[in-house]
Structure 1
Amino acid sequence: MSLQGDGAAAEPPTAEMESTASDTITVTIGATVPTGFEHTAAEEVHEKIGVDAHVSKDRGRIYFPITTDKLFQVHLLRSVDNLFVVVDEYDHYPFKESKGETLNELQELASKLPWTNALEVWRLNRTLKKKKGYRKGGNGPKLKPSSETTEADGEQEEAAVESQTEVESGMPDTSSTQDAVEAAPEAKVIRFRVTCSRAGDKHSFSSNEAARDFGGAVQEFFQWKADMTKFDIEVLLNIHNEEVVIGIALTEESLHRRNISHFGPTTLRSTLCYGMLRLCKPQPSDIILDPMCGTGAIPLEGAIEFNSSFYIAGDNNDMAVNRTVNNVCHIQKRRADKGSASGLPIDTVRWDLCSLPIRTSSVDVLITDMPFGKRMGSKKKNWDLYPNCLREMARVCRPGSGKAVLLTQDKKCFSKAISRMGGLWRKVHTVWVNVGGLHAGVYLLRRTGAVFGQTPEDIYESRGTVNIQEEVKNENEHVKSF
């Protein structure tokens, strides 16, 4: 799966190039996706673009071919965080044992790569979106290492090539680019940076060293100007063990922030919300409930993408409810400004999680991000919260057909709580994901046909209550006898 290019030295983009129409070409697009939902993202690509996506060995990435006339469709994908066009890739790059030899080879590689098609896609991509100004530091695509859990043998560093000598608009006469620049004197100097992401324990170099030397060669080859913050082009160097992928970023900032304007301490990425929603496969007319909505990221994503269902978002925290309302209003205003129908099938309520004002057996799907016990709540409180929460969810969920998709990092507490549900829930599937560096699970549960209030646990609890009431009654009678 390697991008086929002509191998010729590519001309740097200029204003003249941007106004020149080009023929349709085929390239490979790379996308970073929430770890654990790679196959979900591949399914969406096949469904919406009609091509098969390849899941990378490096978790959290997929690759798929497109023709440039479908480039706009790529930006409409809901499961991808960042997009880039692949310049070239190597499944088994022959790294040298010596650091010096390896870095020298990376420098030589820059002038041998088939840049032409990738730069043409970068040019077309600029015409698809309104210019939003320069990206600030930290807004560029953050490529993930092999595993999003902390690894001693992996590193993820961003390194931009900084040159002491600024490249002015005049370029060497020996370059074919010189004629283009002279023909369009108003064309500005292209600014760039190289971002390197590296994972593996057999490399003799660091990410900073690879980005520095490779970027220096890119600068010399194209005569671009290095700039870490105000860059036009971001060249991506992704190294995962022996796999090397060179690309050019197509997104200025991650697409996962698309729905949220008012963030909370544990706001989920919209792309992760989309993956969770696809797990439960919302059907038309489904009632979908998020009892711990936080900022409303899950129901908002659902109301936008699966808008034939109806969503109820609730929380016991006033600030969370207010954030959700503000985020809903933000989306509605944005739609109204574009002349689209602004309504969303979503309601927001403040409630007590363990005593929901919802009719028994009336909800089709429950989907929520449960407190991990770190930023929100505590591990100790979860031992009481999780069983109470799961029982109340079982009460409002339709027996036999209802589902729940629940995200939590407190796996031990969750498993114990499920085992105490008296057969009300059955585990169907688990997707292991990374949430802010934490290894968490997305659990798909099926509501069994067991009638709420008649399971062994319910009977046991109800008998316990009766026994306590009888003990109190007997004690009172005993006191009266004196």
Structure 2
Amino acid sequence: MENEKLACLIEISRSSPQLITVEATVVSGLEKIAEGECYEIFGKTTLIISERGRVYFNILREHLPNVFLMRSIDNVYIIVYVKEINFGSDKKEDLSMLLNCYSEIEWRKPISVWKDVYQYSGTTYPTKEEYETSKRIYNTLNDSNPKKCKIAKEKNHIYNEISNWNEKNCKNLTNVERPDDEPQENIAKDNSNVGDAVSADAKITVPKFRVSAKRVGTHSFTSEDVARTYGALIQEDFLWIVDLTDFNMEIMTNVTDSDFIISISLTKSSLHRRNLTVFGLTSLRATICYSLIKMALPQVGDVVIDPLSGSGSIPIEGAAAFPKSYFVAGDFQDVPCGLTKKNLENYDISKTLPLDVMKWDSLKLPIRNSSVDVVVTDMPFGKRSGSKKSNKVLYPGVLRELGRVLRKGTGRAVLLTADRRSLEMAHNMTKKLWNLADRRHVNVGGLKAVVFLLRRTLFD
């Protein structure tokens, strides 16, 4: 990662109380689409840095709601801290370097942003008395859940060990400035008699949190070491409750060969979870669908088809994102056509999508010559759907038929597949019909896939 550029973004955002640095995850290989969407929404002067699977950008805090409207990104985080660290081979020294970073972290603004996003009404800077009261309520509520009790015992043992190590090795790391202007509820006074039984209106009023760690590269420590260490530090510092499953806040630590990044998650679930209520074997994420359609740049009035639509993930996302174009979904089998119709029925009833569903043979489309503007489709990968042997016959036939229905000179086809060799062979066999405008390697559910952007030539 370009650590210096990201550090520069952080410094710029620190210079203004209204600026924040956002991290958004994207499907690997489609970062440029997310960059373009950032520029469209936040302006051409937006400072953006991208690396594989991620984009970082600075925006005004008041514009944060618009981030959640972006269609190309999966998860959103606010960056808290970034530091370049030269890790060695000694575990104790490396963990000490990570611990020493803690005193440099400025938590106030990121926590305030998290609180606004989740509309959290509890006390983010509790007193010890408030914490202990909420912890008693938490323990009592979870005593009846054997699974959570077991997790809690293991967790407490781990954090006690780390806390003892912290006390011996890292002094004066407390970094929380408790704002005087934050409203504080006197929880202890209201629940002073909390014991084994919890009243019906008793509430946990301090955040429950967990620290998740991701690590890339070779290090002397494990991801679990990082999560445990920072979890213990944050718990001691903020007096929050550690809960690995039912948490309000998730704090992310990312460690690479020489980078250490801390962020707070602003999404409970990925933004790609939209549109579909029933799924086929190969339904694509909505974020991937949007990026594929965006590559084709559909215009007002364009006719866009997906000849192998499956459960309709591409045309439904396209019709939602580009309502001034007209989409047609089609498949050879009754089941996928039925899934598409079901997803349309379950879509937001307040919106009418410019989309029709047809049953057809992708090798014999019931469409006039040169009448379609754009084709976007997910070709059979030859794994869950079809086979690589059948693809060698299917792909050339599909490309010839798409060449027939697309407008000469202006028609565009965006094709996704993990069977790269079959698509390359089909393209070579129909080369007279197509110009290869772009090719991108993407990660689809852990599979290495490729996207071809083809432009229709003037030749038959």
1:23-172 alignment, distance < 5 Å? 25-50=18-43, 51-57=45-51, 59-90=52-83, 92-127=84-119, 162-164=155-157
Structure 1 partner of 2:284: 268
Preserved contact between residue 313 and residue 346 of structure 1 (Cα < 8 Å): yes
Gaps of 5+ in 1: 8-22, 130-160, 337-341, 452-482
Preserved contact between residue 13 and residue 58 of structure 2 (Cα < 8 Å): no
1:112-261 alignment, distance < 5 Å? 112-127=104-119, 162-164=155-157, 176=178, 183=186, 185=188, 188-201=205-218, 203-261=219-277
Structure 1 partner of 2:398: 389
Q: 1:217 offset after TM fit, Å?
A: 1.5
Mapped partners of 1:438, 1:275: distance in 2? 17
Q: Which amino acid aligns with 2:36?
A: E
Pick aligned residue for 2:307 from 288, 291, 295: 291
From the superposition, tell whether residues 269 and 400 of structure 1 become closer, same or farther in structure 2 (CA, over 3 Å).
same
Structure 1 partner of 2:195: none
3-state SS, counterpart of residue 346 of structure 2: helix
1:413 maps onto 2:410 in alignment: no
Preserved contact between residue 427 and residue 445 of structure 1 (Cα < 8 Å): yes
3-state SS, counterpart of residue 356 of structure 1: coil
Mapped partners of 2:67, 2:212: distance in 1? 22
C-alpha offsets along residues 122-163 of structure 1, whole Å, 9 cap, x if unaligned? 01111399xxxxxxxxxxxxxxxxxxxxxxxxxxxxxxx932
Q: 1:47 offset after TM fit, Å?
A: 1.0
Structure 1 partner of 2:293: 277
Preserved contact between residue 159 and residue 231 of structure 2 (Cα < 8 Å): no
Preserved contact between residue 42 and residue 53 of structure 1 (Cα < 8 Å): no
Q: 1:189 offset after TM fit, Å?
A: 2.6
Give the number of the structure whose residues are more often helix, by fraction.
2
3-state SS, counterpart of residue 391 of structure 1: helix
Mapped partners of 2:38, 2:29: distance in 1? 16
Corresponding pairs, count: 390
Structure 2 partner of 1:444: 453
3-state SS, counterpart of residue 332 of structure 1: coil
Q: 1:240 offset after TM fit, Å?
A: 2.5
C-alpha offsets along residues 402-460 of structure 1, whole Å, 9 cap, x if unaligned? 11000011111111111111511121101111001111111000111112xxxxxxxxx
Mapped partners of 2:311, 2:423: distance in 1? 23
Q: Which amino acid aligns with 2:426?
A: A
* Range with greater deviation from structure 2 (288-297 or 93-102): 93-102
Q: 1:52 offset after TM fit, Å?
A: 2.3
From the superposition, tell whether residues 56 and 205 of structure 1 become closer, same or farther in structure 2 (CA, over 3 Å).
farther
Mapped partners of 2:236, 2:66: distance in 1? 34
3-state SS, counterpart of residue 96 of structure 2: helix
Pick aligned residue for 2:439 from 430, 435, 443: 430
Mapped partners of 1:304, 1:27: distance in 2? 29
Structure 2 partner of 1:399: 408
From the superposition, tell whether residues 177 and 188 of structure 1 become closer, same or farther in structure 2 (CA, over 3 Å).
farther
3-state SS, counterpart of residue 255 of structure 1: coil
Pick aligned residue for 2:358 from 349, 353, 365: 349
3-state SS, counterpart of residue 283 of structure 1: coil
Q: 1:271 offset after TM fit, Å?
A: 0.9
3-state SS, counterpart of residue 94 of structure 1: coil
Mapped partners of 1:48, 1:374: distance in 2? 37
TM-score, normalised to structure 2, is: 0.79
3-state SS, counterpart of residue 87 of structure 2: coil
Mapped partners of 2:76, 2:223: distance in 1? 21
Preserved contact between residue 289 and residue 363 of structure 1 (Cα < 8 Å): yes
From the superposition, tell whether residues 188 and 31 of structure 1 become closer, same or farther in structure 2 (CA, over 3 Å).
same
C-alpha offsets along residues 360-411 of structure 1, whole Å, 9 cap, x if unaligned? 1111111100011011111111111111111111111111111100001111
Gaps of 5+ in 2: 1-5, 122-153, 161-173, 189-202
Structure 2 partner of 1:367: 376
Structure 2 partner of 1:464: none
3-state SS, counterpart of residue 119 of structure 2: helix
TM-score, normalised to structure 1, is: 0.76
